[in-house]
Amino acid sequence: MEYLKGIESFHGLASVHSFNILPDGSFGELRIMQVNHANESLLVSNLDAPKFYPGIPWRAYYNEINHEKMCYKCGSENIPLYSYVNAYGHWIKGFYFPISGPYGTDEKPDKDGKRTVYVLYIMNRSEQLDSNAMTTRSSGVLEAVLNITIKLHETQNFIKSLADSIGELIKLCGSRFCAMYMVDKREEKCTFINQNGVSTHILDGIAKGMKRTPYEVALEWEKDLAGSDCMMIADLNILKERDELWYESLAAHNISSIIMYAIRFNSRLVGFIWAADFDTSKIFHIKEILSLTSFMLAAVIANYQLISKLEEKSTMDGLTQVYNRSAMNERVDKIVSRGDKLPETIGIVFADLNGLKAVNDNEGHTSGDKLLKRAAALLKIAYADYEVFRAGGDEFVILCPDITEERLAKQTAKLRKLAETSDVSFALGTVFCEGGYDIIKAMQEADEKMYADKREYYCNNPGKDTRRQ
C-alpha cells in the first residue's frame, strides 16, 4: 500500500512511520510503513538487518529512543517538529510532519478505542557540522545558553566556571540535579562536577553503585546512548532494559527522569552533562538547552584538557584567560619565518575596549578587570574557532587562519551584536588577506582601522573620552 504518493521526490532519506494511540493515552510500537529507495538502501546496508516490509518495527533497525519520542510527539499532538543531532557518526537534520492516513483522511479510533496516526520523517545527513542549523532555536533557548556561555568565560578558575554554569542550568531546567562528568580518554580518568564544584565522593559513589570504575561508567554510558548524542528518559523503566545497573543506581537515589548529553570534541568523547528529576512537560525545551550547552562546552573542556597537559611556560593571560602578547608574538614570528605553514587566507581583527580608562578612574580597577573579563568572554564566543590574544591593556588581537572573507565579516558582525546586549563596547579594525601577503603590514593596517573606529566612537560619545585627562 502506498501511504504517501511522491515519496521518491523528497531529497534525503524519507519514510512514513505509524503508531497506535491507546485508550489510556499511551503509545504503541513505532512502525515503518513506507520508505523511499535511498532510505531502504540505508536500512538494509547492514548485512544482519532484516528485509524491509511495510509495518516492520522501527527497532528492528535502530535502538535509539529519542527518535521515537519525536515521532510520538509529532503524531499525537499533530505538530511538525525539527531536530539537529549528532548520531551514528553524522550530523542529522530531522524533519517530522503529521500526515493523514493511507485513505486521505485521519484514522478514527477502532472499536477498542485505539487510533493509528502517521508521521512523515525526512532526514539529511552530513559529516560536517552546520553551525546555522545548530543555532536554529527559539530566542528563549539562545538567550539562556548565551548566559551560560558567558559564565564559562568570566572567571579564571575553570572548575568554578563550570560549577556556576551548572547552577544556572539547574534553574533553567527546573531540575533537582544537574551535573557534568568530564572524561579524559587518554588518561582514562573522570571528574564529577556539580554546582558546588568537584566531588570525588559523588564520583566514587556513582561508580560503586554501578559496580564499575569511574572510567568504566563513562564507557557504559557511551554504549547506552547507542550511537546518539542524547538520551531522554521520562520513565526509568525504559532504561531498565538497556542498563539495569544504571537503572538501579538512579532508582536508589529516587531519580525518576533524566536527560543526558554526550559532550564530544571532533568526535572524541570529553564528557557528559545531564539534568535529572525535571518537569517532564518541558522535556523538549530542556533538551534544546542541553544540546546547545554541550556543543559550547566541547571546545572549552577539550581546551582545558590540552592546556592542563602542557609542560611549558604559560602562554595565557592570567586575567582574561585568552592568549597573552608573548604567545601572539611567537605565533606571528613563526608565520613570518615560515616555521608555521603560511595559511592560504587569514583574517586579522584588532579589538580595543572602549571606555576602560573611565571605568578604572570612576569605579576602580576591580570594575575595570571585570569589564576586561567580559570583553574577553565575548571575543571567545564570537571567534570561538580562532586564536584570541590580549596584546596588552585594553587591546585584543584575533588571528583567523583559513577563514573566508564572508565568514570574517559574519564573525565580526556577531561580536558587534553580542556587545549591543552588554556593557562592553569595542573599536574594531579588520583585514582579510589571501595569497602572498605580509602579516606584519596586515596587522598594522588592522591597527589603523581600529584607531579610526575608536576616534569615531569618542567623537559620538565625548563624555566617555578620558584618554588625556
**Per-residue pLDDT reduced to its tens digit, 10-23:** 888 999 999 999 99
Answer yes or no: is pLDDT of 322 > 60.
yes
Length of the chain: 469
Average pLDDT over every residue of 355-371: 90
Average pLDDT over every residue of 160-188: 90
Query: To the nearest whole percent, how much of the chain has pLDDT over 70?
Result: 92
* DSSP letter assigned to residue 50: P
The three cell numbers locating residue 170: 539547574
The better pLDDT of the pair 39, 350 is held by 350
Average pLDDT over every residue of 255-268: 89
Round to whole Å and give the CA distance between 359 and 11. Answer: 56
Q: What is the pTM of this model?
A: 0.54
In Å, how far are 343, 345, 386, 398, 402 from 435, measured between CA atoms?
9, 7, 20, 19, 11
Average pLDDT over every residue of 122-139: 74
Reported as half-sphere exposure (CB side, CA atoms, 13 A), residue 59 has a value of 10
Could you tell me the domains of the chain?
A: 7-127 (3.30.450), 137-309 (3.30.450.40), 325-464 (3.30.70.270)
- Give the type of residue at 426: F
Nearest Cα neighbor of 359 from 393, 400, 391 is: 393
Confidence class of residue 457 from pLDDT cuts 50, 70 and 90?
Answer: confident
Average pLDDT over every residue of 384-401: 94
Answer yes or no: is pLDDT of 4 > 80.
no
Phi, psi (deg, nearest 5) at residue 76? -75, -30
Confidence class of residue 141 from pLDDT cuts 50, 70 and 90?
Answer: confident
Average pLDDT, the chain: 86
Mapped onto helix, strand or coil, the DSSP state of residue 193 is strand
Residue matched to cell numbers 529512543: 65
Mapped onto helix, strand or coil, the DSSP state of residue 73 is helix
Q: Which helix (H) or strand (E) segment is 56 a member of? A: strand 56-57
Answer yes or no: is pLDDT of 306 > 60.
yes
User: With contact defined as beta carbons under 8 Å apart, do 419 and 378 qualify?
Assistant: yes
Q: How many other β-carbons are positioned within 10 Å of the β-carbon of residue 87?
A: 20
Nearest Cα neighbor of 94 from 48, 133, 128, 145 is: 133
Answer yes or no: is pLDDT of 140 > 50.
yes
Average pLDDT over every residue of 109-117: 85
Answer yes or no: is pLDDT of 186 > 60.
yes
Answer yes or no: is pLDDT of 296 > 90.
no
Confidence class of residue 150 from pLDDT cuts 50, 70 and 90?
Answer: confident
Q: How many other β-carbons are positioned within 10 Å of the β-carbon of residue 267?
A: 8
Residue 323 burial (C-beta neighbours within 10 Å; 0-12, 13-18, 19+): buried
The better pLDDT of the pair 1, 186 is held by 186
- Give the type of residue at 141: V
Buried-state track 139-175, b at ≥16 Cβ within 10 A, e below 16? eebeebbbebbbbbbbbeebeebbbbbbbbbbebbeb
Query: To the nearest whole percent, how much of the chain has pLDDT over 90?
Result: 45
pLDDT of res. 312 = 43
Answer yes or no: is pLDDT of 139 > 90.
no
